[in-house]
Copies of this chain bind each other. A is one copy, B any other.
Amino acid sequence: MTRKVGIIGVGMTDFGEFWEKSYRDLIREAGVEAINDAKIEGEKIDALYVGSMSPGILIGQEHIGALVADTAGLHGIEATRVESACASGGVALRGAWMSVKAGVNDLVIAGGVEKMTDSSVGAATIALGGAADQEWEVFHGATFPALYALMARRHMLEYGTTEEQMAMVAVKNHHNGSLNPHAQFPFEVTLEQVMKSSPVADPLKLLDCSPITDGAAVVILASEEKAKELGVEPIWITGSGQSNDFLALHDRASLSETKAAVEAAKKAYKMAGVKPSDIEFAEVHDCFTIAEIMAIEALGFCKKGEGGKFTQDGETSLTGSKPVNTSGGLKSKGHPVGATGIAQAIEAVLQLRGKAGKRQIKDAKVGLTHNVGGSGASCTVHIFERDAK
């Protein structure tokens, strides 16, 4: 467990609706950018992990590890797809990290990709429904906005969280996204616009929801020795945690807490030897605005129940004490499901390199990413550090 692992290259496509680009085009574009960024030759890659949630339904394609490696021109390597619904990207990052940690590989790609807009919105809704419990939730008519609406209502009841506080998450993330050239919806929204947007599943409105998106993201991991050999300075992955919870909401101990995130964070903090107060910025899984509020509570950035107020007080804004979703988050940047966990890692790397442009946090040294599957049945948390310990 002593082998150090870091990220030496990053690349991502714009996030959006791209009818002119295929699944392959997207992952190839992100991969080429990451390989160029790392200044390596593709032939040196030992293995590839790719997160993708539902390509079987969305584009009629499985065998995704082989497809992506082939598209990248990589043959004779280990190429594995992992899936954990909307946390597929985070799980790919963890798989790649683990294979270097195990000493099996030295230079590994972790990618994520989803092509969601070629099929109908109905097909995308069916695919996304696969992240919930088909037999106990989806069969009875629940969609994802409905499940998160239940969580929002419970959070409001228990803690007095308001619809305005949720809307403030959208306002903040759209502001950050307006500074991100890769964002799907890089425009500002006002509190009034969010509050007046069409209801989707009460209390969630259209502007409380993340969009359906095409996109891909790739990072390249290396062992400390390999990074030295290549003469590059990695951003270190010092903590990795993954946990799970009951799949269906009705089985969980609480609707207002994401226990898998609490557990994953605990594991990651312990591994990295840091506390929530040491984290300087975070990318969290804001598939709905309420999800960000529950995320910052689960990560220990504020007390349970105080996520709404913490947001309202501006603590999570770009200039606050704990900037959250500097990239714009899923809400503004977009949410190509399998790519999200990797795109979060890319934002962490850019911030720690000091290369996050107009949304740069000053002198960032420690960041965190939080990637959730479905309504919270799975979660990965990763901690990134600029300086080697």
A contacts, CB < 8 Å to B: 1, 22, 24, 53-57, 59-67, 69-70, 74-85, 91, 94-95, 98-99, 101-104, 126-127, 129-135, 138, 242-248, 251, 259-260, 263, 373-374, 377-378
In the assembled complex, the Cα of A243 lies from the Cα of B125 at a distance in Å of 34
What residue of chain B has the Cβ atom nearest to residue A79's Cβ? B244
A83 touches B95 (CB 8 A): no
Residue of B with least CB distance to A248: B70
Q: Is B65 within 8 A of A130, CB to CB? A: no
Is B62 in contact with A131, judged by CB distance below 8 angstroms?
yes
If the complex has contacts A56-B130, A63-B130, A130-B60, are A81 and B82 also in contact, measured as CB distance less than 8 A? Answer: yes
Taken together as a complex, chains A and B put the C-alpha atoms of A369 and B65 apart, in Å, by 20
A contact face: mostly helix, strand, loop, or mixed: mixed
Top 10 nearest A-B pairs by Cβ distance? A62-B130, A102-B102, A66-B377, A63-B85, A78-B242, A101-B102, A56-B56, A61-B134, A1-B103, A79-B244
Asked if B101 and A70 sit within 8 Å, CB to CB, the answer is: no
Give A41 to B60 CA distance when docked, in angstroms: 40
CB neighbours (8 Å) of A246 from chain B are: 70, 75
Which residues on B sit within 8 Å (CB–CB) of A377?
A: 63, 66-67, 70
Q: Is the CB of B67 within 8 A of A242?
A: no
